[in-house]
């Protein structure tokens, strides 16, 4: 059901690869709520993924771009303003990738060229996006820019690897740039910290299914799925959150405030007798 929360607004959604992608759900809901949008992803993802299908469905132009490349980002903002007919009201950065995770390098055996790539793709690209947008004065006063993050930025989650460092940097960029962008242009910058979600990027995380099961049992409201995340993004893009900026906002069913839940405790004690490995 639409509430017309984004009526007349113009947006850019980065990172919709297939219908499991969080960005895919955000794009669908943004259009449902009255926005016009452009979509962007890497040229390879546009060739190999389903972004074109989404573009057709939503009548949204696709602008292939590598988010680590400043010229590509300038092209995306220039063309988006041309296509959509004015400055941009909202942007979603839904981009993450770790070559170390892909190559199964553990955190105590990182390849440093790969670490640089992880940080460039997953975090510095957000700074580049913000800097390009600000220099071009491409965002409307009161506009809203969001990136997606995960709680492993703040606490250790086994298997999240160098993406934890990438997310910590992403959240820091959000605060540092959010201050400047808010002060000078009235633009809001926030991250949403999402529950583990089964997507192409998510399924690369070691032990993803167990991680999802654990947080499902721990969170009083259970895990938030990609649609829940999209709903939160829409509210953050809307005028209902005009004074929210520089925040890391949890969309995780309460997981981040929990220590131990009854369900997790029961499951743990059930497993205790059969699984006693003193080395862990």
Ligand X SMILES: NC(=O)c1ccc[n+]([C@@H]2O[C@H](COP(=O)([O-])OP(=O)(O)OC[C@H]3O[C@@H](n4cnc5c(N)ncnc54)[C@H](O)[C@@H]3O)[C@@H](O)[C@H]2O)c1
Distance CA 6, CA 2 (A): 10
What would the two tokens of residue 70 be?
A: 């400043």
Q: Which region, judged by CB under 6 A, interacts with ligand X, from 30-38, 41-49, 133-141, 238-246?
A: 41-49
Distance CA 201, CA 198 (A): 8
Q: What is the closest distance, in whole angstroms, from the C-beta atom of residue 42 to ligand X in the complex?
A: 5
Distance CA 203, CA 9 (A): 33
Query: Considering only residues 36, 38, 41, 215, which one is a binding residue for ligand X as defined by CB under 6 A?
Result: 41
Helix 226-237 to helix 22-32 angle, to the nearest 10 degrees? Answer: 50
Distance CA 14, CA 252 (A): 22
Distance CA 198, CA 9 (A): 29
Query: Considering only residues 68, 131, 225, 256, which one is a binding residue for ligand X as defined by CB under 6 A?
Result: 68
Q: Is 160 a catalytic residue?
A: yes
177-236 residues near ligand X, rule: CB under 6 A: 194, 196-197, 199-202
Given a contact cutoff of 8 angstroms between Cβ atoms, the answer to whether 160 and 100 are in contact is no
Q: Encode 15-40: b = buried (16+ Cβ within 10 Å), e = exposed.
A: bbbbebbbbbbbbbbbbbbebbbbbb
Residue number with CB closer to ligand X (68 or 256):
68
Residue number with CB closer to ligand X (22 or 236):
22
What would the two tokens of residue 215 be?
A: 């947080």
Q: What is the closest distance, in whole angstroms, from the C-beta atom of residue 69 to ligand X in the complex?
A: 8
Q: What is the closest distance, in whole angstroms, from the C-beta atom of residue 186 to ligand X in the complex?
A: 25
18-37 residues near ligand X, rule: CB under 6 A: 21-23
Given a contact cutoff of 8 angstroms between Cβ atoms, the answer to whether 57 and 34 are in contact is no
- Is 115 an interacting residue with respect to ligand X (CB under 6 A)? no
Distance CA 208, CA 213 (A): 9
Query: Considering only residues 11, 58, 77, 96, which one is a binding residue for ligand X as defined by CB under 6 A?
Result: 96
Which residue in the list 150, 158, 179, 181 is annotated as catalytic?
A: 150
Query: Considering only residues 42, 100, 153, 223, which one is a binding residue for ligand X as defined by CB under 6 A?
Result: 42
Query: Which uninterrupted H or E stretch holds 93?
Result: strand 88-93
Q: Is 179 a catalytic residue?
A: no
**Does residue 17 sit in helix, strand or coil?**
coil
Q: What is the closest distance, in whole angstroms, from the C-beta atom of residue 31 to ligand X in the complex?
A: 18
Which residue in the list 107, 112, 160, 232 is annotated as catalytic?
A: 160
Residue number with CB closer to ligand X (199 or 247):
199
Q: Could you tell me which residues are beta bridge partners of residue 93?
A: 14, 147
Residue number with CB closer to ligand X (15 or 253):
15
- Is 251 an interacting residue with respect to ligand X (CB under 6 A)? no
Q: What is the closest distance, in whole angstroms, from the C-beta atom of residue 64 to ligand X in the complex?
A: 9
Q: What is the closest distance, in whole angstroms, from the C-beta atom of residue 68 to ligand X in the complex?
A: 5
Q: Which of 158, 137, 147 lies closest to 193, judged by CA?
A: 147
Interface with ligand X (CB under 6 A): 15, 17, 21-23, 41-42, 45, 66-68, 94-97, 121, 148-150, 194, 196-197, 199-202
| Residues forming the active site | 150, 160
């Amino acid at each position: 059901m639409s509430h017309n929360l984004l009526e007349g607004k113009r947006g850019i959604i980065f990172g919709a690869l297939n219908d499991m992608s969080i960005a895919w759900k955000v794009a669908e809901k943004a259009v449902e709520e009255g926005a016009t949008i452009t979509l962007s992803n890497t040229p390879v993802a546009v060739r190999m993924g389903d972004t074109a299908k989404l573009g057709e469905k939503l009548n949204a132009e696709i602008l292939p771009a590598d988010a680590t490349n400043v010229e590509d980002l300038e092209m995306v903002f220039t063309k988006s303003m041309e296509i959509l007919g004015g400055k941009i009201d909202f942007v979603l950065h839904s981009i993450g990738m770790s070559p170390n995770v892909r190559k199964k390098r553990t955190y105590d055996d990182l390849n440093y060229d790969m670490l640089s790539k992880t940080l460039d793709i997953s975090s510095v690209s957000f700074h580049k996006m913000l800097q390009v947008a600000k220099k071009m004065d491409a965002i409307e006063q009161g506009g809203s820019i969001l990136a997606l993050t995960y709680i492993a930025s703040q606490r250790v989650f086994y298997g999240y690897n160098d993406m934890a460092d990438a997310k910590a940097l992403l959240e820091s960029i959000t605060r540092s740039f959010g201050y400047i962008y808010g002060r000078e242009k009235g633009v809001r910058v926030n991250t949403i910290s999402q529950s583990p979600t089964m997507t192409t990027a998510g399924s690369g995380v070691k032990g993803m299914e167990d991680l999802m099961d654990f947080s499902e049992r721990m969170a009083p409201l259970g895990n938030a799925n990609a649609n829940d995340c999209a709903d939160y993004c829409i509210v953050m893009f809307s005028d209902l959150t005009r004074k929210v900026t520089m925040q890391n906002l949890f969309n995780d069913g309460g997981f981040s405030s929990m220590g131990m839940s009854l369900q997790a405790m029961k499951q743990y004690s059930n497993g205790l007798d059969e699984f006693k490995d003193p080395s862990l």
